[in-house]
Homo-oligomer: A and B are copies of this chain.
Amino acid sequence: MSQTSYVIGHQQPDTDTIISAIAHARLKQAQGEDVVAARAGDLNPETQFVLERWDVEEPTLLEDATGEQLLLVDHNEHSQTVEGARDADVVEIIDHHRIGDVETSNPIRFRNEPVGSTATILTGLYDEADVEIDEQTAGLLLSGLLSDTVVLRSPTTTETDEVVAERLAEIAGVDYEAYGKELLKQKSKLGEKEPREMVLGDFKEFEFGDADVGIGQIETVEPAPVLEQRDAVLEAMDDVVAEREYALLVLLVTDLLEEESTALIAGDHTDTVEDALDTTVEDREAFLPGVMSRKKQVVPPLEDAF
């Protein structure tokens, strides 16, 4: 490649997106390519903790990707890409989500696998390329894997994720259950957040047919402080729906220990939520036992319903 390329994850970056950008850029650099890690937004507290813990610098903030060469990690739909990505040249995609709407003119490598994290796939790519995973990189990859799979408890978790987690933990020199608990604590640092931050902190936009739909998620070991502020949170959700002309906004408040979610609803499509998720919405709230994964348990039925 003649120009510097950027490895970049989705907007509202989470830990798997950030560490995937870093780890994949390192792999490409080890193969002699001119590639740097980038990010499409601010780091959340969990990701800040991870980068401090493993003593790694945060990726470059890329504000506009127009004209750039991009390697997309952890997403493959334009509603989630960095600004300007439609006018950039996408040269590679590594992801573990549904197949979205990013198209290319040329044949490129697109590696999508239905596993728990992009970090899991990247670990395999290091092996394929015969590049050694050092202690620090293993720590980063393990963090992405444990964060996205809620320490291997999410229903998105596969046998491959379990095998890879054990191996990465050994290289990184940590006990993954204990380290995972530290991560979960960081995820739950929500007490001091503003309602709008709670809604948009881990947020994804989708186009389901003609409808623009936003789905936020708060993963926590302590849902009470969030649900106690539900009226203020619902007000913030209404503001977002009005500003962005959403047909629907769902905020999942996911209890990581009880493995269940409470959904708060804004927008006009309460019926669609009830049909799609087989639940009852009362007072703009629905209880979803067993639901932990936005990607696997909420997006597909909502898309089908719209």
Please give the residue numbers on chain A whose beta carbons come within 8 Å of chain B beta carbons, in ascending order. 90, 93, 96-114, 156, 295-296, 299-300, 303-304
Contacts and interface: CB of A to CB of B under 8 A. Distances in A.
Nearest to A303: B105
A10 to B, nearest CB: 14
Contact of A103 (B100, B109, B295): B100
Contacts of A114: 106-109
Given A98-B104, A110-B110, 17 more contacts: A93-B99, A96-B107, A98-B106, A99-B102, A99-B103, A99-B110, A100-B103, A105-B303, A105-B304, A106-B114, A106-B300, A107-B112, A107-B295, A108-B112, A109-B114, A110-B111, A110-B112
A35 to B, nearest CB: 17
21 contacts: A90-B99, A98-B105, A98-B106, A98-B107, A99-B103, A99-B108, A100-B103, A101-B101, A101-B103, A105-B299, A105-B300, A105-B303, A107-B112, A107-B114, A107-B156, A107-B295, A107-B296, A108-B112, A109-B112, A110-B111, A111-B111
Q: Return the 8 tightest CB-CB contacts between A and B, nearest first.
A: A110-B112, A105-B300, A107-B114, A99-B104, A105-B303, A98-B104, A106-B300, A99-B103
A300 B107 CA distance: 9
Contacts of A104: 98-99
A205 to B, nearest CB: 15
A98 B109 contact: no
Nearest to A105: B300
Contacts of A100: 103
A117 to B, nearest CB: 11
A107 to B, nearest CB: 4
Contacts of A303: 105
Query: Which has the most chain B C-beta neighbours within 10 Å: A93, A99, A303, A304?
Result: A99
A65 B230 CA distance: 46
A105 B304 CA distance: 8
Contacts of A102: 99
Contacts of A105: 98, 299-300, 303-304
A93 to B, nearest CB: 7
Contacts of A98: 103-108
A39 to B, nearest CB: 23
Nearest to A109: B113
A181 B138 CA distance: 49
Contacts of A113: 107, 109
Nearest to A106: B300
A170 to B, nearest CB: 23
Nearest to A115: B107
A297 to B, nearest CB: 10
A90 to B, nearest CB: 8
Contacts of A156: 107
A93 B98 CA distance: 12
